[in-house]
A and B are shown apart, each in its own frame.
Chain A
Amino acid sequence: MPGAGDIFITAHAARVLMDRGELSSTDLTKHCLSRISALEDRLHSFLTVLESSALQDAAASDARRRSGTALGPLDGIPIAIKDNISTAGVRTTAGSKILDSYVPPFDAHVVERLRASGAVIVGKANLDEFAMGSSNENSAFGPVRNPWDVNRVPGGSSGGPAAAVSAGEAVVSLGSDTGGSIRQPAALCGIVGMKPTYGLVSRYGLIAFASSLDQIGPFARDVTDCAILLEAISGHDPRDSTSLQRPRETFVGSLRGGIKGVRVGVPREYLVDGIEPGVRRAFESALQTLTSLGAAVEECSLPLTDQALAVYYILAPSEASANLARFDGFKYGHSSPGARTAWDTMDLSRAEGFGSEVKRRILLGGYALSAGYYDAYYKKAQQVRTLIRREFADAFERFDALVTPTSPTVAFKLGSRTQDPLSMYLSDVCTIPVNIAGLPGISLPGGMSDGLPVGLQVIGPQFGDARILRIAYSYEQATEWHLKRPEIN
């Protein structure tokens, strides 16, 4: 059990110490704030740091604990929130210049839940603009760097929330995952990140990128914290019509019990040509660990896997082209000072406010939806999406879960892929199919390669969130990868 001085303490360990009076939320929050001030000029995980409100919230939490009215496992725990999740009264930029001065008047559903659970929000974390990217180099406010090697990317689009937890700037964080934006940075930063089943967590207040794929999820230093955070933010919300009406689950309670006899499929299509040898070795070793824990590991095939990337890059930009239409310079956010007419206001505000990757995807989406191309692109992509869903459903007739590498590579160097969008898009080849099918997927530390973390992805059927958490937890208990820390100070 790590002690009070552990800069990488988990939420569940901190809770034990706080309940014993050996650690206060104020101590823990101050500690995160000091890490932030020591590391931010190198990492740039945050776009907004909420020092004074965090200390107030921490003090309030300490007062609750003293009076015996602590709210639960997240009470007093410092958390970072990706800056595409709305926070009332706190600037929320989505990493875009077009929203650089936007202050939402309302909290996202997940933020309401966190406030109700007593969590301490230490800041709004950096991200690729509108969550479009795989390296966090598309932030209008500058890139995030990887705590394991500041010359490398943290992954994206949730690079800020991932780096913050990896570097000890927050205990846990929230990200969003549209094609791998939680799992890939979790892998590259050596922490746990989970995309829940589509609809398990309300999207109300999440600035939309691709509505049918977006899902909010947790980052944590271990699977237990991940389950705690998921439990706090999941559950039906009537304000999100895609939110599932199911009874709330206790994810923490179902972590134990092992995986003896669990049938694990290994789809061979995920071991793609571009996979790095170190990643492959780590993955094969992870399979042996799962086997040694009693799982029945078996190779399988999902032939439609290589269609998923194409489907994604039609559907996601199509939805984005509409979702981003509201940023017109009239109501909020950047409004071009040079505009003389209403049409100028729209054209110039967007031209000045959006970055090049966002513009590229708006154009792609507009094209895919346009008259004469709709059938060939959008409609065909929807049809293939249905086939991919079906292929996964068939696989889950035979397997309880699928495991794959999270990313074909470890963290890559800043600037190494920015000139070639296609090579960047390939970073998400193992994570995108999960979003296409609306399934839960978790990435957890699964080895090291050349001193950099490797992620192991566990994919479950729809509503298999508790199941993949249990598999991840069993693996984590049998290994020590989750205890590896970056040496940044």
Chain B
Amino acid sequence: MEFEPVIGLEVHVQLRTSSKMFCSCASDYQTAEPNTRVCPVCLALPGALPVINRRAVEFAIMTGLALNCRVARITKFDRKNYAYPDLMKGYQISQYDVPICEDGWIELPPADAQAQAHRVRIKRVHMEEDVARLMHVGGAEGYTLMDINRAGVPLIEVVSEPDLESPAQAEAYITQLQSTIRYLGVSTANMEEGSFRCDANVSLRPRGTRGLGTKVEVKNMNRVRAVGRALEYEIERQTQVLSKGGRIEQETRGWVDDREVTVSQRSKEEAHDYRYFPEPDLPPLEIDPAWVEGLTASLPELAPARRSRLMSDYGLSEYDAALITAVRSTADYFEAVVGARPAGAEAAAFAKEAANWINGEFARLAAARNGEGPAVTPENMASLVAMFQARTISNAAAKQVLAEMFQTGKGAAAIVEEKGLKKVTDVGSLEPAVDQAIAANPGAVDDYLKGKETAVRFLVGQVMRASKGRADPVRAAELISEKLNARKS
């Protein structure tokens, strides 16, 4: 029998608010000294009480809106009870039966030209708080350090319906969700640093049937690729079990990254009874529709819409547009560069050239310097693109100028001027170098005169070298051909 996988994902996203979910402590736990972002509330001292962070609620609503969810008119918080040393209060303030957002969807772009877009339903988005960080030191005989800075940092959990059909789709879903969340600016959504954590539920069923098999929850994946790998492993494992006539146990399994296997962590019998009940310290939260309207109006244009717009406005290819829009700041930059183009430059042609540079050399240099150094302003970038497009500078010179811009933050024109990188196009300036090349390379001249026209390229190369790349190679070739043709006759 052939099986097909049914996959649903639960993603925890850490919100980038300046303070914690229920107290005014700063939420910069990653950079702060351990246990310096704490107060009676997040330490769970007796008598301390939570107060809802309004900004965190806004971020949750914005995420829900971007995921096409319905925002609740009244929502509430619940206590999720379990005992663990990293859980300060002995319960987590979460949301159980009335989440802030429900019933949305996310559309995954077609995997290739033949495929269709795939819509994944979002079941819910709810708010909760993070726990403290435990650091185990030494082995079995070691000890554990606790950093409470992270306790109480706001989280949202985005729960999909089991609409994903393959590990590749699961990875596409994560990538799309990350992009959306980063566009909104509500989280860094970084799996490696833990601001974006994904658990997967996966089951198998005979291909073509509608029912759902027994599901297994897989945890501990800390890269997008690990989610795909873990699912591939788990699908294979379950297929083996079922093919041998075995039964799948409902359990939680952990992905062991270096061994590339999942191992059982907790059986159904050992599952927690969280004993949820409404949080009595927080009255139900009424969400004013006007508030939601304001947030809706403030939402940025998200990647899919922007991709289509860039394609129709500037004639960018789908490939270029997808690259440009994958990260919001890149797309913002691109549009700023196009906006700063010189009067008279034709928008589509300029945009195409700008996209090439931004996706190419600019991206390479930006990645290499890792966020440090001076800014290359959109105006400077636009002037560089314009000079290149107008053939005022060569490709090599443009790269050199851009590198210099990253180094010094200076304007493109100033660098071109300073370094004398402007192409030499007038005959008067080119002639000495051309004559020199002809005089110094009689062999090449001979070849040409015997009909080997490619010999011109060699001579142009000599001119370029002599001019340190400044000579306009097209003009130089024309001049060389002219002079040699004169000798023919």
User: Which residues of A are found within 8 Å of B52, using beta-carbon distances?
Assistant: 241
Q: A205 and B281: CB pair below 8 A?
A: no
> A128 within 8 Å of B by Cβ?
no
> B220 within 8 Å of A by Cβ?
no
A93 to chain B minimum Cβ distance, whole angstroms, is: 10
Q: B88 and A326: CB pair below 8 A?
A: yes
**Which A367-420 residues have a C-beta within 8 angstroms of B?**
369-371, 374, 378
Interface of A: prevailing SS: loop
Question: What are the interface flags for A187-208 relative to B under an 8 Å C-beta threshold, 1 for contact and 0 otherwise?
Answer: 0000000000000000111111
> B45 within 8 Å of A by Cβ?
yes
- CB within 8 Å for A325 and B48 given contacts A211-B280, A318-B277: no
Chain B residue nearest in CB terms to A199: B283
In the bound complex, what is the Cα–Cα distance between A321 and B40 (angstroms)?
A: 20
> A57 within 8 Å of B by Cβ?
no
In the bound complex, what is the Cα–Cα distance between A283 and B81 (angstroms)?
A: 45
Q: A325 and B91: CB pair below 8 A?
A: yes
> A432 within 8 Å of B by Cβ?
no
Interface size on A, residues (CB 8 A): 44
A21-29, A40-48, A133-141, A328-336: which lies at the B interface?
A: A328-336
Q: A241 and B88: CB pair below 8 A?
A: no
> A242 within 8 Å of B by Cβ?
yes
> A239 within 8 Å of B by Cβ?
yes
**Which B292-336 residues have a C-beta within 8 angstroms of A?**
none
Question: What are the interface flags for A342-386 relative to B under an 8 Å C-beta threshold, 1 for contact and 0 otherwise?
Answer: 100010000000000000000000100111001000100000000
A126 to chain B minimum Cβ distance, whole angstroms, is: 17
A326 touches which one: B90, B144, B276, B281 (CB < 8 A)? Answer: B90
In the bound complex, what is the Cα–Cα distance between A99 and B46 (angstroms)?
A: 10
- CB within 8 Å for A211 and B281 given contacts A241-B52, A369-B275: yes
User: Which residues of B are found within 8 Å of A210, using beta-carbon distances?
Assistant: 280
In the bound complex, what is the Cα–Cα distance between A346 and B86 (angstroms)?
A: 12
- CB within 8 Å for A242 and B46 given contacts A321-B81, A346-B83: no
Question: What are the interface flags for A207-236 relative to B under an 8 Å C-beta threshold, 1 for contact and 0 otherwise?
Answer: 110111000000000000000000000000
User: Which residues of A are found within 8 Å of B79, using beta-carbon distances?
Assistant: 322
Q: B281 and A325: CB pair below 8 A?
A: no
A105 touches which one: B40, B83, B273, B277 (CB < 8 A)? Answer: B40
Chain B residue nearest in CB terms to A366: B275
A452 to chain B minimum Cβ distance, whole angstroms, is: 34
B43 touches which one: A86, A204, A211, A331 (CB < 8 A)? Answer: A331
Q: B47 and A322: CB pair below 8 A?
A: no
In the bound complex, what is the Cα–Cα distance between A322 and B276 (angstroms)?
A: 10
> A94 within 8 Å of B by Cβ?
yes
In the bound complex, what is the Cα–Cα distance between A196 and B205 (angstroms)?
A: 60
> A72 within 8 Å of B by Cβ?
no
Q: A371 and B273: CB pair below 8 A?
A: yes
- CB within 8 Å for A322 and B91 given contacts A242-B281, A330-B85, A370-B273: yes
A425 to chain B minimum Cβ distance, whole angstroms, is: 21
B182 to chain A minimum Cβ distance, whole angstroms, is: 31
User: Which residues of A are found within 8 Å of B126, using beta-carbon distances?
Assistant: none
**Which B84-140 residues have a C-beta within 8 angstroms of A?**
85, 88-91
In the bound complex, what is the Cα–Cα distance between A102 and B48 (angstroms)?
A: 14
Q: B44 and A207: CB pair below 8 A?
A: no
In the bound complex, what is the Cα–Cα distance between A85 and B46 (angstroms)?
A: 9
Q: A369 and B277: CB pair below 8 A?
A: yes
- CB within 8 Å for A325 and B46 given contacts A241-B51, A346-B83: no
**Which A102-147 residues have a C-beta within 8 angstroms of B?**
102, 104-106, 108
> A431 within 8 Å of B by Cβ?
no
User: Which residues of B are found within 8 Å of A378, using beta-carbon distances?
Assistant: 277
In the bound complex, what is the Cα–Cα distance between A203 and B144 (angstroms)?
A: 34
Which of the listed residues A94, A241, A327, A331 has the most CB atoms from chain B within 10 Å of its own CB? A241
User: Which residues of A are found within 8 Å of B89, using beta-carbon distances?
Assistant: 322, 325-326
> A319 within 8 Å of B by Cβ?
yes
A325 touches which one: B85, B90, B146, B277 (CB < 8 A)? Answer: B90
- CB within 8 Å for A240 and B49 given contacts A318-B277, A322-B81, A328-B85: yes
B83 touches which one: A85, A206, A240, A328 (CB < 8 A)? Answer: A328
Chain B residue nearest in CB terms to A203: B49
User: Which residues of A are found within 8 Å of B83, using beta-carbon distances?
Assistant: 325, 328, 346
Q: B46 and A104: CB pair below 8 A?
A: yes
> A253 within 8 Å of B by Cβ?
no
Chain A residue nearest in CB terms to B81: A322
> B282 within 8 Å of A by Cβ?
yes
In the bound complex, what is the Cα–Cα distance between A225 and B89 (angstroms)?
A: 37
> B50 within 8 Å of A by Cβ?
yes
User: Which residues of A are found within 8 Å of B45, using beta-carbon distances?
Assistant: 86, 104-106, 331-332
User: Which residues of A are found within 8 Å of B46, using beta-carbon distances?
Assistant: 86, 92, 94, 99, 102, 104, 207-208, 326-327
In the bound complex, what is the Cα–Cα distance between A92 and B146 (angstroms)?
A: 25
Q: A322 and B273: CB pair below 8 A?
A: no
In the bound complex, what is the Cα–Cα distance between A37 and B51 (angstroms)?
A: 42
In the bound complex, what is the Cα–Cα distance between A369 and B276 (angstroms)?
A: 7
User: Which residues of B are found within 8 Å of A207, using beta-carbon distances?
Assistant: 46-47
Q: A206 and B47: CB pair below 8 A?
A: yes
Q: A322 and B281: CB pair below 8 A?
A: no
User: Which residues of B are found within 8 Å of A3, using beta-carbon distances?
Assistant: none
Q: A342 and B144: CB pair below 8 A?
A: yes
A104 touches which one: B47, B49, B51, B276 (CB < 8 A)? Answer: B47
- CB within 8 Å for A204 and B81 given contacts A241-B281, A319-B280, A366-B275: no
- CB within 8 Å for A241 and B50 given contacts A212-B280, A331-B43, A346-B83: yes
Q: A239 and B49: CB pair below 8 A?
A: yes
B47 touches which one: A205, A212, A369 (CB < 8 A)? Answer: A205
User: Which residues of B are found within 8 Å of A208, using beta-carbon distances?
Assistant: 46-47, 281
**Which A67-111 residues have a C-beta within 8 angstroms of B?**
85-86, 92, 94, 99, 102, 104-106, 108
User: Which residues of A are found within 8 Å of B47, using beta-carbon distances?
Assistant: 85-86, 104, 108, 203-208
Q: B43 and A241: CB pair below 8 A?
A: no
User: Which residues of A are found within 8 Å of B48, using beta-carbon distances?
Assistant: 106, 204-205
In the bound complex, what is the Cα–Cα distance between A396 and B91 (angstroms)?
A: 38
Q: A241 and B277: CB pair below 8 A?
A: no
A41 to chain B minimum Cβ distance, whole angstroms, is: 29
> A238 within 8 Å of B by Cβ?
yes
Chain A residue nearest in CB terms to B89: A326
**Which A441-466 residues have a C-beta within 8 angstroms of B?**
none
B275 touches which one: A85, A94, A99, A370 (CB < 8 A)? Answer: A370
Which of the listed residues B79, B88, B91, B276 has the most CB atoms from chain A within 10 Å of its own CB? B79
User: Which residues of B are found within 8 Å of A211, using beta-carbon distances?
Assistant: 280-281
User: Which residues of A are found within 8 Å of B90, using beta-carbon distances?
Assistant: 322, 324-328
Which of the listed residues B91, B146, B275 has the most CB atoms from chain A within 10 Å of its own CB? B275
In the bound complex, what is the Cα–Cα distance between A207 and B166 (angstroms)?
A: 51
User: Which residues of B are found within 8 Å of A331, using beta-carbon distances?
Assistant: 43-45, 88
In the bound complex, what is the Cα–Cα distance between A325 and B45 (angstroms)?
A: 12
Q: B49 and A241: CB pair below 8 A?
A: yes
User: Which residues of B are found within 8 Å of A326, using beta-carbon distances?
Assistant: 44, 46, 88-90
In the bound complex, what is the Cα–Cα distance between A346 and B85 (angstroms)?
A: 9
User: Which residues of A are found within 8 Å of B51, using beta-carbon distances?
Assistant: 238-239, 241
Chain A residue nearest in CB terms to B43: A331
In the bound complex, what is the Cα–Cα distance between A203 and B49 (angstroms)?
A: 8
User: Which residues of B are found within 8 Å of A324, using beta-carbon distances?
Assistant: 90
B108 to chain A minimum Cβ distance, whole angstroms, is: 35
Q: A241 and B44: CB pair below 8 A?
A: no
20 pairs from A and B in contact (CB 8 Å cutoff): A86-B47, A104-B40, A104-B46, A203-B47, A205-B47, A207-B47, A241-B50, A241-B52, A241-B281, A242-B281, A318-B277, A319-B280, A325-B83, A326-B46, A326-B89, A326-B90, A331-B45, A332-B45, A374-B275, A378-B277
Known: A105-B45, A328-B83, A371-B275. 5 other contacts (CB 8 A): A241-B282, A322-B91, A331-B43, A331-B44, A370-B273
B residues apposed to A, CB below 8 Å: 40, 43-52, 79, 81, 83, 85, 88-91, 144, 146, 273, 275-277, 280-283
Ranked nearest first, the 6 interchain pairs of A and B with the lowest CB-CB distance are: A325-B90, A369-B275, A212-B280, A211-B280, A207-B46, A205-B47
